[in-house]
Amino acid sequence: MITAAVHSVAACLRAAQLQLHKSDSARLDAEVLLGHVLNKSRTWLYTWPEKPLSPDNYQTFQQLLARRETGEPIAHITGEREFWSLSFFVSAATLIPRPDTEQLVEAVLDIVNVGAGKEIGCSTPQRMLDLGTGTGAIAIALATELPQAEIIAVDYSAEAVALAEKNRQRHGCDNLRCIQSDWYDALRRDAGVINQFDVIVSNPPYIAASDEHLQQGDVRFEPRSALVAEHDGLADIEIIIAQGREFLASGGWLLLEHGWRQAEAVAAIFNRCGYAAITTRQDLAGNDRVTLAQYKI
């Protein structure tokens, strides 16, 4: 533990790094937590290493370090996480947005010819659906990049929808609507909701219940309903692909994040359901992570 006599930024960070030695990102964790306590950037911490902490800030920092020592995710401790260079409120009711999921956003932007790749090339879609939106990160990233688009974001969890709406308001996305729905169900019931889309995107549950990684890292603190699916993690993906045909406009695209070993199985489901132009993209580590396909009626 950091002794009460040590209060400078630099000394607190050094001692905190030792305290969090079991974390693979101990120094970064310490900097993020101290920056959160002081409401300062990490750059400020490096610029002012000799600045003293007040007793209250010191005590708060200690409390946050203790929570991190138990393995609690940094995002849950601070209540925020960055995604697509935007800051999002997070909670234990949803998945924590991860950098790999930005591949979904990039793939959509490539489809509409505004991304760097532009490898697909089609007319700019106006109607988009984000299934299982959680914090709303994917939908809000798209809404900020494509202000002309009409976007619906749905989630089964009322808590998740409330959080996504909070984030929607935070970023002023007037072209986005957040609603509660079990996948596509609300789109069938509510005549006032768009039910034909040019793009459907989803980061659904795709982890098998027996996967050992569920007992490791941040996922221990995240809702199982947002992580685990039956049929070796493919059950929800099968529903999204099969029922997506009802909600895609002719020539529309469906994009899915999946496990790094599931690309072949996901592509097979797309093929079985009559989709074309099936393509898999890799994540930041070079693993298969996103598969997309086009549906032509």
| pLDDT tens-place values along the chain, 297 residues long | 444 445 899 999 999 999 998 888 899 999 999 999 999 999 999 899 999 999 999 999 999 999 999 888 999 999 999 999 999 999 988 888 988 999 999 999 998 874 434 444 455 568 999 999 999 999 999 999 999 999 999 999 999 999 999 999 999 999 999 999 999 999 988 767 777 899 999 999 877 666 666 666 666 666 666 766 567 778 899 999 999 999 999 999 999 999 888 999 999 999 999 999 999 999 888 999 999 999 987
pTM, 2 dp:
0.86
pLDDT, one tens digit per residue, over 114-137 is: 443 444 445 556 899 999 999 999
d(CA 139, CA 175): 10
The token pair at 220 is 């221990």
User: Which residues lie below 8 Å from residue 19, measured CB to CB, with a gap of 6+?
Assistant: 1, 2, 65, 69
Domains, the chain, in order of start with CATH, read 9-71 (1.10.8.10), 92-295 (3.40.50.150)
Checking 208-215 for CB contacts under 8 A at 24+ apart, the result is: 208/232, 208/233
Give the model's pLDDT for residue 191: 65
The token pair at 168 is 């929607």
Q: Which residues pair with 207 in a beta bridge?
A: 228
